Copies of this chain bind each other. A is one copy, B any other.
């Protein structure tokens, strides 16, 4: 029987009886996943404790051995947490490394842990446990960002800050800064909704699928699910080990978070140019130049914008990996982890840094106001006046277009025109109230739900706050 023990001498792999020769070093290096899956050690132990507990309860392994396994795993968990233990770097993967530590600690009973399971269902379980945590962490970061947005919007609504609303980056119509900030609230709200939906599909237990076909041992998957906090169990063992949809889903949701961050980042970058100067970023969130002593660069915003690329790349990478794979598990799927980890890390780093950047920025309200002067952004209001006097909108649009052209040729703004000048273009202007071409009047008039008028924005803020205060949020 000594021969069976030979496994103990080479704990770096969990297989080998069938193999005549050793593994090529080049191949071992390519194959080894410990470099990146080591970070799943907590989840791996958590899953193994639940599995061993159930195996003992079901009498599949001797209850005494189950206890020793659970106790051993708990000690390993503590040891890894406090640094008194380390994973063996030569091990093939995190599962092997932990089983090896367990064997060193409790001997051959460790060999019973892998009863009725395979690395295929084990790694799927670990990854889902990890991702559940990552989603919760990202969602919490989004929520904090939303709170900051609500806070800033309240402040700027009180301050009645108006800036040029843009389409095509050209001045379109004046809007409240509070309204502008809240646009990002809703983007992040959708992000949180999506993540919650992904989480529901992540939170399904694959364990019990075995290698691919289920197991002949009378395990209780429901018990393991209960111990690990999963909402349900995977209904098909082949699918359970072949499925990485949840990882793609997360990467897609993460990509949209990065789209939103990159859009805000672009605006922060634009607004902190000397030409716009709508905001001044705090020294604490900017950096300087090694050569130009005057530089103060919006690095956080630039990185938030740039890092969108890496998350999109991860999404594409995983889709490409999965495309055309036959059932069930294929080694290609080992490529799921690095994109997942890096995307979650990226979000967890970008969200608070960008939030801090916005929260500490000084809004230069006087510059925003100055930018609205003679910018023609109230032209629509003049056209709307004509419509109220009965002119079809198309005509009104045309009339005001001609007024604008006339002003441009004469170097004037709309605010420079008096009623007589306007009446020359259309008699309907005779009834124009003073100040229609004024930015504040324009903003105040857009009282429709979702519009930029102060009372509409106040109502929007109330809805936003209600969402943040709701139980599910």
Contacts and interface: CB of A to CB of B under 8 A. Distances in A.
A172 B243 contact: no
A356 interface: yes
Interface stretch (A75-83, A128-136, A272-280): A272-280
A419 interface: no
A18 interface: yes
Most chain-B CB neighbours within 10 Å: which of A290, A312, A405, A463? A290
A214 B450 contact: yes
A338 interface: yes
Do most interface residues of chain A lie in helix, strand or loop, or is the interface mixed? Answer: helix
A283 interface: yes
Interface in A79-125: 92, 95-96, 108-115, 117-120
B339 A213 contact: no
Interface residues of A, number: 204
Contact of A239 (B187, B285, B408): B187
Contacts of A309: 316-321, 323, 332, 335
A419 to B, nearest CB: 18
Nearest to A237: B450
Interface string A176-201: 00011011011100100110010001
A30 B305 contact: no
A186 to B, nearest CB: 5
What 8 A-B pairs come out closest when comparing CB atoms? A17-B401, A214-B451, A306-B332, A15-B288, A313-B317, A111-B392, A111-B394, A302-B331
13 contacts: A16-B401, A19-B288, A19-B296, A27-B356, A30-B349, A164-B274, A167-B212, A169-B330, A186-B234, A213-B442, A213-B446, A262-B324, A306-B335
